[in-house]
Structure 1
Amino acid sequence: MKAGAVRDEFDHAAASYDRLVAANPGYHRHLRVSARRLGLPRGGEGLRVLDLGCGTGASTAALAREFPRAEIIGVDASEGMLARARAKPWGPRVRFVHARAEDLTAGDLGGPSDAVFAAYLLRNCPDPDATLATARDVLKPGGRIVLHEYSVADSAAARGVWSLVCWGVIIPLGRVVTGRSELYRYLWRSVLEFDGAAGLRRRMRAAGLENVRTLALSGWQRGIVHTFFGTVPSTFGSR
């Protein structure tokens, strides 16, 4: 599915998206765990955190809960998803920007960020390397990045569980709630076709990130969804 078609499907699914993810055991808890792994001090006081691919704001809420003193900027390419996010109650430290992840510059955000959180984003981007380069470039030297992402290519068991859950639950439920299943069949395929954990770590290192590592999550998604952590070198110049 082409990038524009994926964006259109997310626009269509926006009204029911929160109901669907709420049916996923551990979905919000896992987002909070990965957000916490950014390890920002003092509740994020004085820091800017970019929520890249914020969707309807579930990942933004996780960041706001873990880092209540940070400035948080949610960015998404889907107007429908952003409209849902903006309609929720937020404090004055949270704002949203409509943009494609790979087109962002630090200037678009009012300056470079201290951390980037990207949940379920990279797999949906037409050029994952360009998106990682953008994430790196909008960070200050020494800045931190966490990808909260599906990765099953390294495990036959994980691929089997993922397909079973998709065809037994996610795709049928998506069809019932939204009246169509294109987005959820795309979700199934895109996860199977995406990098394994080792491959994504290599991709992150190739983008110039350091201290790259993978951290596990619990529950039924163990081995399916992971936290990927990296940092920008302290000598890297922000653009």
Structure 2
Amino acid sequence: MGRLSRAGLRRAEVPGAFDVGAAAYDTLVGANPGYHDHLRISARRMRIADGGRGLRLLDAGCGTGASTAALLEAAPHAEIVAVDASAGMLEQARAKTWPDSVRFVHSPIEDFSVQAGGAGKFDGILAAYLLRNLADPDAQLRRFAALLRPGATLAVHEYSVADSKYAQAIWTAVCWGIIIPAGLVKTRDSTLYRHLWRSVTSFDGAAAFQRRMAAAGFTGVHSETMPGWQHGIVHTFLGEVR
């Protein structure tokens, strides 16, 4: 695994780091009492009509399937295409029980196309903990806009602490007091968890990320944060395409 910079791993190395951490990932995130609840909140904030009946949704950066499960709960009647670049994380996701309406695709999100997931555009995209792990988030936001039908919603569920000294302090304390030591114990490699800390502390503030979304062509861009200890730390960024 590569050496970490101020922003964490080189972005090409991130899927490999998730491969290393995949087997322990669900156990570690399960120790965060808000992790799954917050993903469900972001999925509900997409306001998917009629339980997703007749709709086609993309879970971009699905990992072990936690965000997929959140999207499925919000839209139980939708077709869901779940994409991730880490083979190890997808192996964990595919081992779970899913309805036939859920399909997993192994691909870097930068290389994913409408054709890779089947014909037609998407009626909504959920991207959880993805954009800060990409080399060019602006280009990916433009790709998301191109993948969506007019009027469809992109929900980016992401850490953002740059606008708040308090949020930065809480995030650093939790990472070094809990997340990094627990990751080291579980996997004997703290690289992924030190990358998590650094990639979050170096990422956009909420206002800056909203500007990124607007520049990529999204309208009605706004963000809402989470309850609990991750208030001001984890946000849902929402926007639509014309």
**TM-score relative to the length of structure 2:** 0.95
Identity, % of aligned pairs?
57
* Match in the other structure for 1:83: 91
Amino acid in the other structure paired with 1:82: L
Which of 13, 18, 34 lines up with 2:26 in the alignment? 18
Letter in 2 for 1:123: R
* Deviations, residues 53-101 of structure 1 (Å, cap 9, x unaligned): 0000000001111110010110000011111111110001100111111
- Partners of 2:65 and 2:31 lie apart in 1 by 16
Q: Which residue of 1 aligns with 2:160?
A: 151
Matched, 1:105 2:106: no
The answer to whether the Cα contact below 8 Å between 1:50 and 1:73 also exists between their aligned partners in 2 is yes
State the 1:4 CA deviation: 2.7
SS class of match (2:58) = strand
* Secondary structure of the structure 2 residue equivalent to 1:177: helix
Q: Take 2:134 and 2:89, find their aligned partners in 1: how far apart are those partners?
A: 16
- Structure 2 equivalent of residue 73 of structure 1: 81
Structure-1-length-normalised TM-score: 0.96
CA contact (8 A) 1:103 1:134 kept: no
The 2-side partners of 1:137 and 1:105 are apart by 10
Q: Which letter does structure 2 place at the counterpart of 1:116?
A: I
Deviation at 1:102, TM superposition (A): 1.5
Query: Is 2:192 the partner of 1:183?
Result: yes
**Of 58, 61, 66, which aligns to 2:66?**
58
Q: Is the 8 A contact 2:225 2:233 kept in 1?
A: no
C-alpha distance in 2 between matches for 1:136 and 1:88: 30
**What is the distance in 1 between the residues matched to 2:23 and 2:189?**
13
1:47 aligns with 2:55: yes
Unaligned runs of 5+ in 1: 234-239
Kept in 1, the 8 Å contact 2:18–2:88? The answer is yes
Aligned residue in 1 for 2:178? 169
- Alignment deviations for residues 179-238 of structure 1 (CA, whole Å, 9 cap, x no partner): 1101100100000000000000000000000010011210000000001000001xxxxx
How far, CA to CA, are the matches of 1:103 and 1:11 in structure 2?
A: 19
Cα contact 1:117–1:147 (8 A) shared by 2: yes
Check conservation: 2:48, 2:74, Cα contact below 8 A.
no
Shift of 1:126: 1.0
Determine the structure 2 residue equivalent to 1:35. Answer: 43
Distance across 1 between alignment mates of 2:107 and 2:77: 24
TM-superposed deviation, 1:137 = 1.0
Aligned to 1:72, the other structure's residue is in SS state strand
Letter in 2 for 1:185: R
The residue correspondences of 1:155-234 to structure 2 (distance < 5 A) are 155-233=164-242
CA contact (8 A) 1:150 1:224 kept: yes
| Alpha carbons 1:105, 1:137 under 8 Å: kept | no
Q: Deviations over 1:19-65 (max 9, x none)?
A: 00000121000000000011011100000110000000000001111
2-side partners of 1:168 and 1:39: how far apart? 36
Could you list the runs of 5+ residues in structure 2 that have no partner in the other structure?
A: 1-8
Distance 2:143 2:90 in 1: 20
**Cα RMSD after superposing both structures:** 0.7
Aligned-pair CA distance for 1:155: 0.4
SS at match of 2:96: coil
**Alpha-carbon contact 1:204-1:212 (below 8 Å) kept:** yes
2:146 to 116, 137, 149: 137
SS at match of 1:180: coil
1:236 alignment counterpart: none
